[in-house]
């Protein structure tokens, strides 16, 4: 194999191996007690994307420069079966992620095509809400790049003006937080967590946390708004025939399975102004820089390990 082909195989194999180790670590940590912690949506998102993002970062900042710097020859060399297997695993994970993303896009497109608006409702700030005639009592943000807020006509009819405004404020909070984009990243993430129960549990925990955060952003400390939103949620659930199966579409619908927790949180008084701790991008960038710099002295060891991986099974 040529040097370029070997380099591509090495990078794919290192990514797959690192991603697998990180996925196992996250899954073990989740089942060991992390699931019982109170997590914010940003923290859950980071934990869910850690295997893919961490593996990609280490591959590009440690494995790639180590191989380019210490590889003495630019000539063909045979690739071992383990290297090829790991590279195929990385390719399969990427393909599976793209397939899941395609299915989600197709489901979203189908949902939008089947939900023809019968009316349009305008809220403060100029945001429009499409009122659709569907059998299920739904209110949701649908789509990623041009997200739309949809609400069933039965929900509009069942709720008072104040209750309906709070439902739309909740969905608008999802739009402002780009939650559908974050959901898409979890869907297409090429990692082993996708096939593990811990990965699905992390995504569901993230969904539940985003609902609570959207409730808090929509109602704040206003007791009247909080009671109105709680009342609206109860009415929506009463209209429903039960827990609906999770759709493949990129949407953040009103969930009926976590109603008790959401209503309880809304009815608890908030004595101080809402303060949501944002995920510090600077802190993440600083940690990434430290890891990249700390890996420089290890380039020689990393290259030796890669050479052993390439040669394994060829002799």
What is the distance between the terminal CA atoms of the chain, rounded to a whole angstrom?
16
pLDDT in tens, 68-98: 888 776 666 677 788 889 999 999 999 999 9
pLDDT in tens, 116-173: 777 877 766 667 888 888 777 888 888 888 888 888 888 888 989 899 999 999 999 9
189 and 52 Cβ atoms separated by less than 8 Å:
yes
192 and 156 Cβ atoms separated by less than 8 Å:
no
132 and 152 Cβ atoms separated by less than 8 Å:
yes
C-alpha count within 13 angstroms, C-beta hemisphere, residue 242: 1
Cβ-count burial 28-56 (b if 16+ within 10 Å, e if not): eebeeebeeeebbbbebbbbbbbbbbbbb
> Mean pLDDT throughout 174-194?
92
Residue 248, both tokens: 């493949």
152 closest CA partner among 140, 160, 166 = 140
pLDDT in tens, 190-239: 999 999 999 999 999 999 899 999 999 988 888 899 999 999 988 888 88
For residue 313, give the DSSP letter.
T
49 and 193 Cβ atoms separated by less than 8 Å:
no
Helix (H) or strand (E) holding 68: helix 64-70
pTM summary value: 0.85
């Amino acid at each position: 194999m040529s040097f370029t082909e070997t380099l591509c195989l090495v990078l794919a194999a290192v990514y797959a191996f690192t991603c697998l180790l990180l996925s196992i670590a996250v899954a073990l940590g989740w089942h060991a007690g992390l699931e019982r912690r109170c997590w914010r949506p940003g923290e859950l998102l980071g934990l869910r994307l850690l295997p893919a993002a961490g593996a990609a970062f280490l591959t590009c900042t440690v494995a790639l420069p180590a191989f380019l710097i210490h590889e003495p020859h630019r000539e063909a060399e045979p690739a071992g079966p383990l290297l090829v297997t790991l590279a195929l695993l990385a390719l399969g994970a990427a393909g599976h992620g793209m397939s899941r993303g395609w299915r989600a896009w197709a489901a979203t497109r189908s949902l939008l095509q089947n939900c023809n608006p019968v009316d349009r409702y305008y809220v403060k700030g100029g945001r429009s809400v499409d009122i659709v005639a569907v059998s299920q009592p739904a209110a949701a943000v649908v789509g990623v790049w041009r997200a739309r807020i949809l609400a069933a006509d039965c929900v509009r009819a069942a709720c008072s003006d104040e209750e309906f405004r709070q439902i739309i404020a909740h969905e608008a909070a999802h739009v402002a937080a780009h939650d559908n984009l974050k959901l898409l990243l979890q869907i297409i993430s090429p990692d082993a967590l996708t096939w593990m129960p811990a990965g699905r549990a992390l995504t569901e925990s993230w969904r539940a946390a985003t609902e609570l955060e959207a409730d808090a952003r929509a109602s704040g400390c206003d007791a009247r708004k909080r009671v109105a939103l709680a009342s609206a949620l109860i009415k929506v659930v009463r209209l429903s025939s039960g827990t609906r199966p999770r759709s493949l579409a990129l949407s953040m619908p009103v969930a009926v399975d976590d109603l008790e927790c959401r209503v309880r949180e809304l009815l608890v008084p908030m004595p101080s102004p809402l303060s949501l701790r944002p995920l510090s991008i600077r802190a993440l960038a600083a940690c990434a820089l430290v890891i990249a710099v700390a890996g420089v002295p290890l380039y020689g060891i990393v290259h030796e390990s890669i050479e052993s991986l390439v040669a394994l099974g060829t002799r």
